[in-house]
Amino acid sequence: MNANNSVLDAAESVFGRPWIHIVMLFGLAFILSTLIHPEISAFHARRPDSGDPLASILGDGRKLFANHFYVKADVYFHSGYYPTIFDNRESHQTAHMAEDAGVAEGKNTGDEEHFLGKSSDWIDAHSRKHFPSVHTHLGEDSPDGRKNAEREILPWLKFSAKLDPNKIETYTVAAYWLRRTGADGEAEAFLREGLRANPDSVEILFELGRCRYDAKDVEHARNLWALAWRRWQQQEVGKPAEQQNRFIAAAILMHLARLEHAAGDINQCIRCLETLLPLKQNPDEILKRIADVKAGLPLTAE
C-alpha cells in the first residue's frame, strides 16, 4: 500500500511538472523529424534473424536511427543543403559522400543544384534565406573553406556504426574520408572494427586492401584483395546477374590488375582484366586496356 503510494507520488511529482510533457513531446517529435529525412535503403536485413520479436523491433528501431545518422553524414557533406521527403530527391538517392568515395555506384539523376525548384510564394522565397540553399560539398567548396572539413561527417558515421554495426557503407565511407584527410591509421582501425562485426564483407576487405596498398604494403594488399575476390565469388556467383554487386567486383579486379602491373607481373595483370571482362557492360574499354598492357603501354586508370 505504502510503497505503491510512494511510487505514485514519485510519478506524480515527475509527470505533474508541465515541462516534462514538453520534453516527452519533443522526444516524439525528434523521432518524427527523423522520418522527414529520406531513408536510403533502410532495411537491408543482413543480420541473421534472432527469432526474438522484441529484439527485432528494437533492432529495427536501431537500424532506423543508424540509417538516419548515415544520411545525416551526407547532409553534413552538403553543409545542410539537402532534400527532405517533401522535396524532389532524385538527385540524392545515393549518398554523394559514398559516390565520391567510390564505395557505391551512383544512381542519381536530376538537378542536385536546384532540387527545391522555383519558390512558390513569398513565404517560400523568404524562408529560403534561413537555411542553406546552395549546393556544395565539404572540403573543396564548403562555405567556410576550412581545412579537413570533410571530417565533420565522421561523428554521424561513427554513431551510425554503433547503432547498426552491420551497415557496411558506414565503415567504407568513413575510411575513405579519413584517408582523404590523412588519417590512414584511423581509417584502417575503423575498417578492422567493421571487419570484426562483418567478417565476410567484400567491401571492407577491399577497402582494407586499399589502406595496405597506400601504405606500400603490396603483399598484404594483394592478399586482402584476393580474399575479397574469393568472398565475392562465394557470395555472388549463384545470384542472377542483375542482383550481383558487380560494381565492387570490378573495383577489386581493377585494383588487383593495377597492383600486378606495378609489380611487373604482366600475365597476372592480364588474367585479372580478363576475369573482369564478362562483368562489364561495355567490354571494349577493358579489351583496349588488355591490348595496351600487352603492347607494353601503361595501364590507364578508370
Partner 1 sequence: MHIILAVAGVVILEMIRRKDVYVLLFLTALITLLLGSVNLFGDPNIARYLKEVCLTLIWISSVVIAIATAARQIPAEKESRTIFPLLAKPVTRAQVMLGKFFGCWTACVLSLALFYAFFCLVSGTKEHYWPITNYFQAFWLHAVFCAVVVAMTLMGSVLLAAPSSTITIVGVVVLGILLLGRHLNKVAAKTGGLAGDLLSAIYFAIPHLEWYDVRDLIIHNWPAINWTVIATDTLYGAAFAGLFLVAAWARFRRMALN
> Rounded to the nearest whole angstrom, what is the least distance from the CB of residue 210 to partner 1 in the complex?
17
Nearer to partner 1, 87 or 274 (CB): 87
Min dist CB 29 to partner 1, Å, is 5
How near is the Cβ of 117 to partner 1 at its closest, in Å?
9
Closest by alpha carbon to 104, among 119, 115, 94?
A: 94
Nearer to partner 1, 69 or 229 (CB): 69
In the complex, minimum distance from the CB of residue 141 to partner 1, in angstroms, rounded to a whole number: 12
The answer for residues whose C-beta is within 8 angstroms of residue 150's C-beta and 6 or more apart is 77, 138, 139, 177, 180, 181
Residues near partner 1 (CB under 8 A): 17-19, 21-23, 25-26, 29, 32-33, 36, 76, 79-80, 84, 86-87, 120-121, 123-124, 126-127, 129-132, 142-144, 146, 148, 151-152, 154-156, 158, 174, 178, 183, 186, 190
Provide the minimum distance between the beta carbon of 81 and partner 1 in the complex, in angstroms, as a whole number. 8
Beta carbon nearer to partner 1, 6 or 84: 84
The minimum distance between CB 176 and partner 1, in angstroms, equals 13
With respect to partner 1, which residue has the nearer C-beta, 89 or 280? 89
Residue number with CB closer to partner 1 (28 or 215): 28
**Alpha helix locations (H) across the chain?**
2-15, 18-36, 53-77, 96-101, 122-127, 154-163, 168-180, 184-197, 202-214, 218-236, 246-263, 266-276, 283-294
87 versus 265: smaller Cβ distance to partner 1 = 87
Q: What is the dihedral of CA 140, 174, 102, 291, to 10 degrees?
A: 110
Radius of gyration of the chain (CA): 24
User: How far is it, in rounded angstroms, from Cα 182 to Cα 147?
Assistant: 11
**Integer CA distances (angstroms), 226 to 202, 209, 245, in order:** 10, 9, 17
Angle at 160 (CA atoms; ends 251, 172), nearest 5 degrees: 15
